Amino acid sequence: MGKDVIIACDFSSAQATFDFLDKFTEEKPFVKIGMELFYAEGPSIVKEIKKRGHKIFLDLKLHDIPNTVKKSMAVLSKLDVDMTNLHAAGTVDMMKAALEGLTREDGTRPLLIAVTQLTSTSEERMQNELLIHASINDTIVKYAQNAKEAGLDGVVCSPLEAGMVKENCGKAFMTVTPGVRFADGDIGDQVRVTTPAKAKEIGSDYIVVGRPITAAEDPVAAYRRCVEEFVG
């Protein structure tokens, strides 16, 4: 499994996305397409970016009954994305069904990773609103173990949680981590952040980086700096 930097393409239109990607003339970064862009532009945006030669992480975070998720994953698999995800809260059965749906006739499939607890959910809200009385760290580890049991490839988590996930699920279980900032950069609305170099040290397999690259004066230089620090 190669370590890589995934750029979060949080743009609201295809045009803005293409204007951004056009700046990369020498490399083809791995990109993340989220709900905003997918809902605005539909599956054509995935096909178009794929045609340009990029790897794609389709971040739609599915969460529904197993049968619905299985059928939806079969549709996403046909889009030939490289990685996609769902909420571990949907249970082991839902995650198993998702894998079945995602697996193509020839046995190949995109990587499938699970969201454990969103980093926007505090331990207090998880306990008071969701009535989950374990600690947030125990919940994250248990959800990651459930994802592993279902046969998934890994989880999305904070880089600061990646070590804990690896300890409990094994080194080969992937961690994909947003919340990355340069040491001398703005943290914006992210709270628990770390640098690309520190994420590498903790053991992230992929870092997801949005604004430090997309809002940089020179996005290509910022991307290269990220790759240099994280992949080396």
10 binds ligand C5P (CB under 6 A): yes
Q: Binding string, 111-150, against ligand C5P, x = CB under 6 A?
A: -------xx-------------------------------
State whether the Cα torsion 78-83-89-92 is positive or negative: positive
Catalytic residue among 3, 50, 55, 61: 61
**Burial label, 60 (beta-carbon count in 10 A; 0-12, 13-18, 19+):** middle
Among 190, 194, 195, 204, binds ligand C5P (CB under 6 A): 190
Distances (CA, A) of 213 to 58, 111, 112, 186: 19, 24, 25, 12
CB-closest chain residue to ligand C5P: 210
Token code pair at residue 115: 């969201």
Site for ligand C5P in 14-33 (CB under 6 A): none
Closest C-alpha to 191, from 203, 180, 182: 180
Closest C-alpha to 32, from 219, 199, 161, 214: 214
9/70 with CB nearer ligand C5P? 9
What's the closest the beta carbon of residue 208 comes to ligand C5P, in angstroms?
5
Which span sits near ligand C5P by CB under 6 A: 14-22, 49-57, 75-83, 202-210? Answer: 202-210
Q: What is the residue type of 102?
A: L
What's the closest the beta carbon of residue 9 comes to ligand C5P, in angstroms?
8
d(CA 211, CA 34): 14
The residue assigned the tokens 């949005």 is 210
Among 81, 132, 136, 156, binds ligand C5P (CB under 6 A): 156
Q: Is 61 a catalytic residue?
A: yes
Under the rule (CB under 6 A), what is the footprint of ligand C5P?
A: 8, 10, 34, 118-119, 156, 178-179, 190, 208-212
